[in-house]
Amino acid sequence: MNKEIVKAVSKKQFQLMMDSEKELKKYLNADTSGRPQETLSGLFNKIEQLLTTMSTCQDRIMLLQQMMEEEAPIEEIKSE
């Protein structure tokens, strides 16, 4: 497995996750001026979307790490 590609994809996913977290914090600090929750569906949808993006990025990073770890023993066996 090409470690440079894995590293680049992981870095991209991590950056997207950090950008989403920054944006999420902005929305979580939004001043709703005591509006009823029923009128905030757009805000809630955006927050949920950002949480999904962050979760997806994290899952992708973990999957890439797992694949790299699983390949390491296979490479060792091939070189013996």
> Residue 37: which pLDDT band, with cuts at 50, 70 and 90?
very high
* Residues 9, 15, 17, 47, Cα dihedral to 10°: -130
State what percent of residues in the chain have pLDDT above 70. Answer: 90
pTM of the model: 0.82
Q: Please give the average per-residue pLDDT across 41-52, as a whole number.
A: 97
Q: ∠ at Cα 52 (18, 56), nearest 5°? A: 70
* Chain mean pLDDT for the chain: 91
| Interval 26-54 mean pLDDT | 96
- CB 74: neighbour CB atoms within 10 A? 10
